[in-house]
Amino acid sequence: MMDALRPGCHQRHLLRRRDNPLFAEELRRVDEAALAQARQRDADEREAFMQRFHALLEEAAALQANEESERLLDLKARLDQAYTLLASLGGETAPLKQGLRRLTDAIVSSIQRAAAGDHLAAEELAQERLAREQHYHLMEQPLAADLMRPDTPITPGELAATLLSSPPEELEAALWLFGPKELAPLCREARALLAAAGSGPAHANLQLMEAQLPPG
């Protein structure tokens, strides 16, 4: 059952757009039928994810003690992809996230044992662990999770308005996903949107965005 207090990414983005003067006029018009369709799409995605999740559990349970590193790395990559998708889903996700983290830790431990004595591999695994923890942290913010999806509902033309409309903690996490070359045009577009819409509170978000740009 979908948790009404935690919508999935498709409903969440419609709610960002609804009656929001920073978006184009046709995008602001979000009726109950569109919201219902988005809720159903989110529910279907969660159901499909649960099937994928159980398949990953079964595959991990079937691993042998001397499993080849290539298969372990492939499974870990799919676990990482599953975590990114899960972070954008609606409903209660914390227990599933914990399950994926434990499973990933077990796979990484197996890879470490297979690479015992290889100092370069050990260093790479340590760096990868730090990057994974940072990724987990970012994925706690809905906007970052939505943007990380390969099929994100946030189109390029809606990105500046979305960033301006987001809570500061979500914006700060999302800004880690952009380099200066990507962020500079977004800031220019955001400033133009604010000038056209006259939306006061979003100016603080623009300041956060521009603060990430290099001097000059």
CA distance 50 to 89: 11
- At residue 59, what is the residue type? E
Listing DSSP states for 12-40 in one string gives HHHHHHTT-TTS-HHHH---HHHHHHHHH
Q: Domain boundaries in the chain?
A: 9-146, 151-211
Residue 56 pLDDT level (bands cut at 50, 70, 90): very high
**Encoded tokens for 32:** 């109950």
Residue 135's alpha-carbon distances to 5, 124, 130, 145, 196, in angstroms, are 24, 16, 9, 10, 35
pTM of this prediction? Answer: 0.88
Residue 4 pLDDT level (bands cut at 50, 70, 90): low
Arithmetic mean of pLDDT, 206-212? 95
Is the pLDDT reported for residue 198 higher than 90? no
DSSP state for residue 93 in the 8-state scheme:
-
Residue 2 in contact with residue 177, Cβ under 8 Å?
no
Residue 176 in contact with residue 144, Cβ under 8 Å?
yes
Q: Hunting for tokens 């000038």 — which residue is that?
A: 195
pLDDT at 5: 67
Q: Hunting for tokens 């676990």 — which residue is that?
A: 79
Note the pLDDT tens digit of each residue in 65-117: 788 888 998 999 999 999 999 999 999 999 999 999 999 999 988 888 877 77
